């Protein structure tokens, strides 16, 4: 049974723990990490003999490390997991498009090393089809993300740019490329980074983010124009019960990945 380190004990981390405890996936939780001591204490009441990591590189005895925290964590531990041939599943995929050094490292990984870096699909999907379409070249790739009005009420980007949120109709929050989207929305638009790495790249993949007071779901719409056809993928995700910025599907995509490599 593989030994697992969990970095970040919010909704996604807790969902992974639930999946292991209910035997949906088979892992031994070896180590946990969070900056919130209360989150650690909560997990310790459920897991006996789990080691609390006091620094981010303390996963020396683990086979798999999952990151469910923030982009800076990915930047800090990337080299360490590669050196030790540890499977690494990051949820903060935006780090791979916003951090120049990390972006270049990832792009230049050889096949032997790259197999240890597993990028989950997160709150979107269809990557088998998208990879097939890309074989003949992609003309345009656009991600349109809509989230409920209240998700953006205290958003730093909205406040900084004095964006007025209309309570009655949709408001365009952001238009730009995937790199800038991941930079401005580091916790809530990792899907843009994931899509860009699989398609036209961080500069050419276009992103639109909208506030929509008429919806309760997080809706991601992917539009692709290519030599072989025009494609539209739509994902209407229920938000997680504890964090409306995060789609429930994101946690499940991580669990699905863990299942694939558990043996």
Neighbour tally for 203: CB within 10 Å: 12
Neighbour tally for 23: CB within 10 Å: 7
Among the listed residues 220, 235, 239, 247, the single catalytic one is 220
Instruction: Report the candidate in 48, 113, 54 with the shortest Cα–Cα distance to residue 81.
Output: 113
Contact yes or no for 19/255 (Cβ under 8 A): yes
The DSSP letter of residue 12 is H
Instruction: Report the candidate in 158, 155, 163, 151 with the shortest Cα–Cα distance to residue 212.
Output: 151
Map tokens 């789609």 to a residue.
247
- How many H helices and E strands in the chain? 11, 10
Instruction: Report the candidate in 14, 1, 9 with the shortest Cα–Cα distance to residue 40.
Output: 9
Question: Is 220 among the catalytic positions?
Answer: yes
| DSSP-assigned letters across all residues of 54-106 | SSTT--TT-SEEEE-S-HHHHHHHHHHHHHTT-EEEES-TTHHHH-HHHHHHH
155 belongs to an annotated ligand binding site? no
250 belongs to an annotated ligand binding site? no
Mutual angle of helices 100-107 and 71-83, in 10-degree steps: 40
Question: Which residues participate in the annotated binding site?
Answer: 123, 190
Residues forming the active site: 220
Question: Which residues participate in the annotated binding site for NAD(+)?
Answer: 123, 190
């Amino acid at each position: 049974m593989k030994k697992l380190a969990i970095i970040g004990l919010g909704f996604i981390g807790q969902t992974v723990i639930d999946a292991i405890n209910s035997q949906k996936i088979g892992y031994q939780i070896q180590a946990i990490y969070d900056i919130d001591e209360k989150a650690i204490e909560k997990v310790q009441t459920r897991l006996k003999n789990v080691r609390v990591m006091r620094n981010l590189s303390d996963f020396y005895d683990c086979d798999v490390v999952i990151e469910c925290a923030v982009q800076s964590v990915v930047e800090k531990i990337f080299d360490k997991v590669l050196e030790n041939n540890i499977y690494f599943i990051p949820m903060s995929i935006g780090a791979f498009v916003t951090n120049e050094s990390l972006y270049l490292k990832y792009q230049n990984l050889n096949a032997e090393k790259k197999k240890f870096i597993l990028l989950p699909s997160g709150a979107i999907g269809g990557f088998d089809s998208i990879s097939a379409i890309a074989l003949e070249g992609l003309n345009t790739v656009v991600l349109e993300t809509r989230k409920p009005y209240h998700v953006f009420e205290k958003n730093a980007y909205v406040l900084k740019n004095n964006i007025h949120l209309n309570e009655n109709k949709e408001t365009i929050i952001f238009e730009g490329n995937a790199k800038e989207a991941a930079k401005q929305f580091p916790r809530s638009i990792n899907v843009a980074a994931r899509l860009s790495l699989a398609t036209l790249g961080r500069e050419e993949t276009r992103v639109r983010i909208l506030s929509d007071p008429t919806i309760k779901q997080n809706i991601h719409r992917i539009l692709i124009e290519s030599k072989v056809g025009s494609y539209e993928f739509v994902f209407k995700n229920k938000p997680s019960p504890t964090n409306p910025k995060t789609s429930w599907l994101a946690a499940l995509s991580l669990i699905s990945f863990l299942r694939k490599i558990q043996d």
